[in-house]
Amino acid sequence: MQLEYDYIILGAGSAGCVLANRLSESGEHSVLVVEAGPMDRKLLIHMPAGVHSVYKDPSINWNYETEAETELEQRNVELPRGRVVGGSSSINAMVYMRGHPKDYDRWNDELGLSGWSYADCLPYFRAGEASERGASEWRGDSGPLGVSRAKLQNPLFDAFLTAGETSGQGTSDDLNGYKPEGLARLDSTTRNGSRCSAAVAHLRPALARPKVDLVTHALVEQVLLDNKRAIGVRFQHQGKVKIIRATREVILSCGAIKSPQVLMLSGIGPAEELRRHDIPLRHEMPAVGQNLQDHLKIHCTWRCTQAITYHRVGRPWNKLLIGARWLTHKDGFGASNIWEAGGLVYGNDHVDYPNLQYHFAPISASYQGRKIVLSQGFTLQVDQLRPASRGYIALNSANPADKPAAHFNYLAEDYDLRELIEGYDKIQEVVAQPAFIAFRGERNDPAAGVKSESEIENWIRATASTDYHPSCSCRMGTDENSVVDAEMKVHGLDGLRVVDASVMPAIVSGNLNAPTQMMAARAADFILGNEPLVPEQARFHFQQERKPTVRVVKTGDEEQTDEAIS
């Protein structure tokens, strides 16, 4: 390491890897990437089917838990986040989903973020991916991120798509393309049968350049400020404290849990919270850590009456064969992320674009500790995409090694419970279709006897969990309830940005890896002063515009209509 760099990026996750690549590609600027975890050398990181082992691996995971969730029976919900080069893109399920175009139009039109419409974002999505689908007005074929189509063949996938048609929930050939709604086979961030993490796609090319350095196993203590300017960082590495200066900018890309913590440890945040932990206040920002959002999910499993599921893959001999096949050919079950089908669907008539997301797998799995137990069945899970509940990140202490306190406040608003019950009903509707008759056995989870609304509600409270999409805790905006502006610069400070999922003003309706990489690519142009890519208007098919029935829903101290929160 040098003592000084043009740019210091904190976090080698989805955003940090993109920034390292883009900020260094001219060869003009020096860049240091500071990562708390190790290199991504574990073989199972790169084998897509290894996802169910790596995402709970404590050696590459922050192992976060929520604080006791009042509406989830006081449970502490597990929240794995990647602590490894590549961040959560090295441990996630690799689903490539951008969110719905109307999410970004809402940012632009309703939330005051001019320049963040889907037309503004689409060229960055296209430029960032190398899709097997080829180039089109929706997709790109020459970017750094490998994006592959689903390849596993199984009658249950066919039944799922047929059920989409017969149930009226619809189907789509590409949820990131012309029709962003319905049931579909999903794309994954894989290339040539291997995981294409942000580290593989973006950081590897950057590290080949002479002015880019990466330090791993480094725990950030704080961003250093000189009056109202960020001038460097202090972190622990190999038992020593290092201070490195930034001549241009410090960029936080630590994620929606860690970025607010680092800001507060640096004296940037709510005055009372800092006072509580004897942290000197350097820059008061009440919004730091607030507005926390996530996708809460439930999943239902059924026994499959035919032995066509992947329940045998966990047997030692089969694991050996699958691994050998993957090592030699990079195909077969080892090349699959397993969640190869899903959908974006409407849960009710009061929303004007899909508010529920499916993930479907021809396997039924449960955990005993970190051990995976497989059975002959299939799983359909549903996420609530645009929750009304809001949480916050607080500090447990002023020690940077302590985990922050994540209060998600899941189901704090009754609106969210209603939508998850609707999601449960939609799942039952799909699996009740004739296409599943030949495969559908007894429902295992919830038990077949769970039928009444109160029983379903109790089951949701006892079993609902995160789909690992924390976001919005350092939101973009123009008012006092925001942390960064539309170019991700921290309000009132020079030389400091936050670039990761925490800056989303409202969570998008889908998985977060692809949007986070898109946002980082846009941030790189803001940082370098480049002209943004020219907006692109693509054609989309949406279900006929709905006229929402106004229901008043209380969110915190305010009353909002469905249009305001959906």
Q: Give the residue numbers marked as catalytic.
A: 469
CA distance 51 to 558: 41
CA distance 355 to 520: 25
- Could you tell me how far CA 477 lies from the centroid of its own chain? 20
End-to-end Cα separation, the chain, in angstroms: 47
Which value, in Å, is the radius of gyration of the alpha carbons in the chain? 23
Residue 351 · residue 422 · CB < 8 Å: no
Residue 495 · residue 8 · CB < 8 Å: no
Paired tokens of 126: 């296209």
Paired tokens of 223: 């961003």
Question: ∠478-504-196 over CA atoms, to 5°?
Answer: 145
Alpha-carbon distance values, 522 to 8, 34, 143, 162 (Å): 17, 21, 14, 39
Q: Which residues contact 240 (CB under 8 A, 6 or more apart)?
A: none
3-state secondary structure of 400: coil
Name which of 454, 334, 300, 326 is nearest 52 in CA terms: 334
3-state secondary structure 458-520: HHHHHHCEECCCCECCCCECCCCCCCECCCCEECCCECEEECCHHHCCCCCCCCCHHHHHHHH
Buried b (16+ CB within 10 A) or exposed e, 20-33: bbbbbeeeebbbbb
- Does 446 sit behind a cis peptide bond, omega within 30 degrees of 0 on the bond before it? yes
Name which of 509, 538, 542, 514 is nearest 179 in CA terms: 542
Q: How many C-beta neighbours within 10 Å does residue 73 have?
A: 12
3-state secondary structure of 265: helix
Q: Which long-range contacts (CB under 8 A, 24 or more apart) does 214-217 make?
A: 214/12, 214/20, 214/32, 214/33, 214/35, 214/85, 215/1, 215/32, 215/33, 215/34, 215/35, 216/12, 216/35, 216/36, 216/37, 216/38, 216/39, 216/85, 217/35, 217/36, 217/37, 217/38
Read off φ and ψ for residue 361, nearest 5 degrees: -140, 135
Read off φ and ψ for residue 97, nearest 5 degrees: -145, 130
Alpha-carbon distance values, 494 to 4, 227, 490 (Å): 17, 10, 8
Residue 345 · residue 181 · CB < 8 Å: yes
Name which of 480, 33, 455 is nearest 212 in CA terms: 33
Paired tokens of 21: 């690549």
CA distance 215 to 352: 46
